[in-house]
Structure 1
Amino acid sequence: MFLYLFIFSIASFAGSTEVNCESGGLIELGSTEEGYEGVIEVITNISPDVRLVLEPYLSSVAMKYLELVYSDGDSVAIVRTIKPLDAEEAKMNFMSSSLDYFVTCGRGGKNARVLYIVDLNDNSPIFESKSYSATVSEAMAVGSHVLSVTANDEDALMDNKRITYSILPPDEFEVSYDSQMNACNIKLAKPLNYNNAQQYNFIVEAKDIEGLSDTATVTITVEAYPYFDHSLYKASIEKNKIGHVSDVTPEAIKVKDDNRGINKPVVYSIKTVIPNEYQNSFEIDQNNGVISVTTALDREETEQIAVFIQVSEVSEDIHENQ
């Protein structure tokens, strides 16, 4: 008959450890990279009348990853993993990634253990949506905010989860990082012209420090805005005459669209009159832009009056003309 002797090689982070069943204690076991599987701790010199139990300490996360290999009366116990360690889950409730647990001597002292987990850059940034869209007016000012997109990196270490954003053509748009919102702001970099492009489609990329990345598509639709063919209109007003202003040159005041996609109602209004004392001497039909004189005017008092009018869509995009 043969007797087989099986010898196991066991490595632990803190070497052999012991438990204090009277007053307990705390041992920091060192650190290991996430993904580790194997022995965490070898507890020796256990008294035969002691019954050891593995319990949560600070949080219950450790109980998902560790088990105590031990039977009553054994002089040696092993704490080992039951699945690969994960720094992201270990950091859910704390500033650092660690597994914290007690090795308890039955009703005796609680022996706390702390194992630090080193985060690896094993997560790519992921956009909250694979596509984003926005509608803007061609009158939007350069530098204006168009929309925000957000990617999240689940790594625990701040350096590993830091994201940089970039976009592929067109160059009408640019990106900037908003640290407070942890988002990428897309802004207008160049003036828009509805006649040149009614829609822009491009890719925005989120990349971490080691090049792990994700992309999302962005669609920007451009809306035309009302405009005048002329920046200056002229008209003569007879002395003391009240009513519609006629003989406007070079043509009647009217907003243009040239089939440029303007399909919203427009409203005409008088913004200001110079000299200011004639502000209440004029009114404009908000539907057709016809200007009327409401109080009699005297050439001896003034020879020229400037009336600034504006037209706006429902979206409040405004184009001013004199």
Structure 2
Amino acid sequence: MEKMALFSILFLFACLHVDSVRSAIGSTEVNCVSGGNIMLGSTDEGFEGDIELITNISPDISLVLEPYLCADCMKYVELVYSAGDSTAIVRTVKPLDAEEIKMNADAFYYFIKCSNGAKNARGLYVLDVNDNAPIFQSESYSTTVSEATAVGSDVLSVTANDADATIDNKRMTYSILPPVPDEFEVIYDMQMNACKIRLTKPLNYNNVQQYIFTVEAKDIGGLRDTTKVTITVEGVHKLSLNYFDHSLHEAFFKENQVGHVLDIIPMAKTVQEATGIKVYSITTVVPNKYQNNFEIDQSSGVISVTTALDRQETEQIAVFIQAAQQDDASKTANAVVLITLW
């Protein structure tokens, strides 16, 4: 690497007056005694044509092209020359690609080797052109976040890559395309070369359960790519059958009396307090004709008999109860209380 850098500096110092590629309009010569170095100047990537015209070739010398510092460079050029010719042309066989060339060396290098062994080094700076658009690593990104996630948190990272050779042409900006959700913004992390999706407002599962929007990456030349982002909101408070210790409870109550069915009190309190404020209700009673004989405390879940029951009419009654989250009635837990009269 040090040898390559020094070689490039010497070439550049010796050839500062050269602004563009020498071609058939200009000419070069080879030194088949001690060899030599020539920096041919610079050209934009995508160049096709003659790179140099070599003149005054001795008839007793033949020339060949050889790689130097950049093995892959040889697939871009050919030497148009026959033994005994006094001139030769080095020309491209396909457009020069700055990205591929710079993976090997800082410039496009090759040797023109004389048949006696002397080597003439050539160098050509290939200037990067912004010809590559940013490309996201994935066509879509998704994640699930809790509605309790703190504002300012980064909830997702999306990344686009630009294949251009220089930092300037790789530089890009990220944005959310309209309609833009108020709850999120994009923050570019230059160090990680990634875009962070950041939470800007509190999430509310009851209002929005899922956000779908488009993020765009655009480079300085206006080349762009987009990706779809899906963020699913998970509610903090969820009720299910598992929130009751059991889905079936048994209780015993004396006939011809009214009041609390005391055996139900511990059951009602086993609903996990972490699920938030709950509202209890009786959904049905079997047999149905006893529906009006019972009531339930909406806050505590304690069941009471309001009208005395006759054991001669029925010995068992099933009371179906439900606990619902107060701020989201769709989140419920259910259980059955089987009451035996004695």
**Equivalent position to 1:212, from 223, 242, 263:** 223
Q: Does 1:175 align with 2:194?
A: no
Q: Does 1:187 align with 2:198?
A: yes
**Number of residue-to-residue matches in the alignment:** 229
Residue type of the alignment partner of 2:138: S
Aligned to 2:209: 198
Name stretches of at least 5 consecutive residues in structure 2 with no aligned partner.
1-20, 240-264, 279-342
- The percent identity for this pair of structures is 67
Aligned to 2:86: 75
Any conservation in 1 of the 2:45–2:95 contact (CA below 8 Å)?
Answer: yes
Residue type of the alignment partner of 1:211: G
Q: Using a 3 Å threshold, how does the CA distance of structure 1 residues 140 and 75 change in structure 2: closer, same or farther?
A: same
Task: Give 1:181 deviation, angstroms.
Answer: 1.6
Residue type of the alignment partner of 2:275: K
d(CA) in 2 for partners of 1:227, 1:90: 58
Residue type of the alignment partner of 1:58: L
Any conservation in 2 of the 1:61–1:99 contact (CA below 8 Å)?
Answer: no
Q: Deviations over 1:184-206 (max 9, x none)?
A: 11111111000011100000000
Residue type of the alignment partner of 1:80: R
**Equivalent position to 1:255, from 274, 284, 301:** 274
Residue type of the alignment partner of 2:68: Y
Query: After the TM superposition, which parts of structure 1 deviate over 4 Å for at least 4 consecutive aligned residues?
Result: none
Aligned to 2:59: 48
Q: Which structure would you say has the larger Rg?
A: 2
Please provide the CA RMSD for this pair. 2.6
d(CA) in 1 for partners of 2:53, 2:142: 57
**Residues 17-28 of structure 1 mapped to structure 2, 5 A cutoff:** 17-28=28-39
**Equivalent position to 1:164, from 152, 168, 173:** 173
**Residues 281-296 of structure 1 mapped to structure 2, 5 A cutoff:** none
d(CA) in 1 for partners of 2:132, 2:147: 39
Residue type of the alignment partner of 1:105: C
Structure that is richer in helix per residue: 2
Which secondary structure state, in structure 2, belongs to the residue aligned with residue 63 of structure 1? helix
d(CA) in 2 for partners of 1:256, 1:128: 39
Which secondary structure state, in structure 2, belongs to the residue aligned with residue 20 of structure 1? coil
Q: Using a 3 Å threshold, how does the CA distance of structure 1 residues 89 and 13 change in structure 2: closer, same or farther?
A: farther
Q: Deviations over 1:5-59 (max 9, x none)?
A: xxxxx96188210111121111000111111111000001111111101000101
Aligned to 1:235: none
**Residues 84-233 of structure 1 mapped to structure 2, 5 A cutoff:** 84-94=95-105, 96=106, 98-168=107-177, 169-226=180-237
Task: Give 1:106 deviation, angstroms.
Answer: 2.0
d(CA) in 2 for partners of 1:20, 1:135: 69
Name stretches of at least 5 consecutive residues in structure 1 with no aligned partner.
1-9, 229-245, 260-322
Any conservation in 1 of the 2:71–2:104 contact (CA below 8 Å)?
Answer: no
Task: Give 1:179 deviation, angstroms.
Answer: 1.7
What's the TM-score once normalised by structure 2's chain length? 0.63
Which secondary structure state, in structure 2, belongs to the residue aligned with residue 61 of structure 1? helix
Task: Give 1:258 deviation, angstroms.
Answer: 8.4
Q: Using a 3 Å threshold, how does the CA distance of structure 1 residues 162 and 28 change in structure 2: closer, same or farther?
A: same
**Residues 231-250 of structure 1 mapped to structure 2, 5 A cutoff:** none
